[in-house]
Structure 1
């Protein structure tokens, strides 16, 4: 019954859904895959979450090399009538560097551009250039565009602009020596390479932007959780102030009235009681100053409501009745003697846990039947709140929850040295179970 269930709570699920609405899963995945590696020697997609995604660039590059290498050699030798040795050497120089583009696209681009330029110069004196594409044959354009994809996913905007301008300059210089009858493809490659660089650069920029958004949201979520935790601890401290202040006031009154209630007291004993009363009054003053700091303001009226008597197990019946009047069916099982058996800290914590649990039911499962059970067993208070599934589809009633519910439960349980188990049920409901020891209050170490 008390076995811990490690599942997301409704509040966490709603937070996760809200985060997913802000950063769609596809774009978040794209941000990881297209993340620019921090080190230049890292391959493309090195930060991808799956192994096949990290190997994909190598496989694609190898496919292009295996397909372009024989085609390049055959076209140069057969269509352009270039010697077989030169055709083989140029085919290797123009295609094999594509494998290097996966890890070092800029050096690969320099090698390919040099090989393509050398091929264009040699094609000027080839046996059959008239009527053929020059200075960039079709297979050269295909390989160059593959290289532009690798560069666009890795290079900065300055590098991409420099590569595009260099491509145009080389093509413009070669145009002055264009053979008669050849089809000039310099402008075609310049336009296509510019389009590919623009698209891949924009895609990479989108991935980087999504990555930065995800990192910022992660930081914001951590800060929000920390702020929520600190606010809840301050709230608990304010409530415990009333409990401790009550006992200190009783000590002060008893110490001051001891000489009148016990006549014939020796002077040293009177002085001892007077010292106890003075210490108690001084402690009360220190606690009031601490409470002022925790409230965050010095106005007495602002925190007047917090000086009301703190609720306990004895007021659970009123809490349940108020929840029922709000339209939430709730059944309360309160063991006889549970209201008076718990010390003040445990009494207050049990009430707040039930209060927060019912608030979560109203928020996340309106209309669901709920059972609240509070009992004392073997020196501890057992609190159990179980609700069934919502009767109808849940509509978000709040758009900006504070997230204090479960945080407050955990902090109160830690305060008393108990345990808290929360988790969904197989039928779609939810369960909150807390054990609060009656005689083993522990100090919060954090």
Structure 2
């Protein structure tokens, strides 16, 4: 109860997306207050014969806090509970007809049940149990001082308040469970996306490692054989080549240790040489043999190995997506280098499928494709443009830098 009161005040249903739902508690509280306040004054003065001033004070104390119940239902309950008990004691001091209800008037019962609904929608189980026990205690205490010939209606209030607290509490807990499930699903989806991104980055790092390791091996071999390939090398130059070879071998050792971290037991198949631009033609031919009409415009430019590898993987994933989502669609694969030789453009465009597939070839795709494309393009400093076309097709366009200036 203490922790709930320390929270900043917030109206019931304040987090609802629809405006009318957020205003609903205020509307209900206002209607109850407006209806019960004059009715209570009238009944207490006309039927029970209570002094008008005392009746007005009791009516205000019993009805007005219902507006507070929208924001602070527990505080409103404290005020109304005391006012209801005080009203029962005050009515005990006056003579009224035996047909009238005691200790709680009908207006008290209506307002108290509405208050219990607000409590159930806000407070935890322990608080609701204490509220109900206090209500039971008030009813039992009233039973000892019930006027002669009057039937006590405290049991009615006890039962109705218990039902209201139980139902409202159950609704609140059900809502909390659904909200937590939705939050957990959102967190799981974010974690899944983060894991996919990390896995794709590790895969790209493994492939780039092979490219760098190849260049380091070439440097080592050239440095080691320089004294045999070049005649009459000065001693200091020979020593310099020896130092270069030793440094390159040490770097290769570090790269192998890095590879041991990046590769896992399931990645042993990636030890094969990495593909480049020259392998894209084979990839297109394999796709065409699978029944996909593919038009290919090759490019025989000499590009860095990292760029060639990225271009191959982008085309590979783009064609795989066409096979999955638009089987039989006419597809165009184009590779071209800009006039200044600064960028390689990779373009994969497919039209709509001849017949919409009855069901996707793969259910619940992993989403690795676009993640991998974007990561590869980002790492080498390029740009990627993907999206659907007006005719129902899809377009993948990647621009990969070829010069050192563009890489930076």
TM-score by structure 2 length? 0.88
User: Which of 373, 380, 385 is 2:334 aligned to?
Assistant: 373
User: Contact (CA 8 Å) 1:422, 1:432: kept in 2 or not?
Assistant: yes
- CA deviations on 1:337-380 (whole Å, 9 max, x unpaired) are x2433211111101111112222333344444433222211421
Map of 2:271 onto structure 1: 307
User: Contact (CA 8 Å) 2:301, 2:337: kept in 1 or not?
Assistant: no
**For residues 83-98 of structure 1, what are the structure 2 equivalents within 5 Å?**
83-98=51-66
SS of 1:374 mapped into structure 2: strand
Cα distance in 2, alignment partners of residues 410 and 58 from structure 1: 50
- CA deviations on 1:204-250 (whole Å, 9 max, x unpaired) are 11222223223333333333233222221111111112222222222
Query: Do structure 1's residue 382 and structure 2's residue 341 form an aligned pair?
Result: no
**For residues 201-212 of structure 1, what are the structure 2 equivalents within 5 Å?**
201-212=169-180
Query: Quick one: structure 1 residues 278 and 104, their matched pair in 2 at CA, closer, same or farther if it must change by over 3 Å?
Result: same
Cα displacement (A) at 1:314? 1.9
User: Which of 394, 397, 405 is 1:433 aligned to?
Assistant: 397
Query: Do structure 1's residue 233 and structure 2's residue 169 form an aligned pair?
Result: no
Query: Quick one: structure 1 residues 125 and 369, their matched pair in 2 at CA, closer, same or farther if it must change by over 3 Å?
Result: farther
User: Which of 181, 185, 190 is 1:217 aligned to?
Assistant: 185
Gaps of 5+ in 2: none
User: Contact (CA 8 Å) 1:342, 1:438: kept in 2 or not?
Assistant: yes
Map of 1:359 onto structure 2: 320
Map of 1:418 onto structure 2: 382
User: Contact (CA 8 Å) 1:105, 1:151: kept in 2 or not?
Assistant: yes
Map of 1:27 onto structure 2: none
Cα displacement (A) at 1:96? 0.3
Gaps of 5+ in 1: 1-35
Cα distance in 2, alignment partners of residues 209 and 360 from structure 1: 38
User: Contact (CA 8 Å) 2:121, 2:172: kept in 1 or not?
Assistant: yes
Map of 1:7 onto structure 2: none
User: Which of 283, 290, 296 is 2:251 aligned to?
Assistant: 283
Cα distance in 1, alignment partners of residues 15 and 22 from structure 2: 7
Larger Rg: 2
Cα displacement (A) at 1:122? 2.8
**Relative to structure 2, which stretch is displaced further, 46-55 or 104-113?**
46-55
User: Contact (CA 8 Å) 2:344, 2:400: kept in 1 or not?
Assistant: yes
Cα displacement (A) at 1:151? 0.7
Cα distance in 1, alignment partners of residues 233 and 79 from structure 2: 104
**Relative to structure 2, which stretch is displaced further, 271-280 or 58-67?**
271-280
The count of corresponding residues between Structure 1 and Structure 2 is 402
Map of 1:24 onto structure 2: none
Cα displacement (A) at 1:37? 9.5
Cα displacement (A) at 1:415? 1.6
Map of 1:405 onto structure 2: 369
**For residues 175-190 of structure 1, what are the structure 2 equivalents within 5 Å?**
175-190=143-158
User: Contact (CA 8 Å) 1:420, 1:435: kept in 2 or not?
Assistant: yes
- CA deviations on 1:80-116 (whole Å, 9 max, x unpaired) are 3434333322221110011111222112111111211
Cα distance in 2, alignment partners of residues 377 and 159 from structure 1: 73
SS of 2:169 mapped into structure 1: helix
- Between 1 and 2, higher relative CO (CA 8 Å, sep ≥ 6) is seen in 1
**For residues 37-436 of structure 1, what are the structure 2 equivalents within 5 Å?**
39-49=7-17, 52-297=20-265, 303-327=267-291, 329-335=292-298, 338-378=299-339, 379-389=342-352, 391-392=355-356, 395-398=359-362, 401-436=365-400
Query: Quick one: structure 1 residues 235 and 443, their matched pair in 2 at CA, closer, same or farther if it must change by over 3 Å?
Result: farther
Cα distance in 2, alignment partners of residues 212 and 394 from structure 1: 36
Aligned CA RMSD, in angstroms, stands at 2.7
Query: Quick one: structure 1 residues 374 and 330, their matched pair in 2 at CA, closer, same or farther if it must change by over 3 Å?
Result: farther
Cα distance in 1, alignment partners of residues 406 and 190 from structure 2: 26
Map of 1:25 onto structure 2: none
SS of 1:420 mapped into structure 2: strand
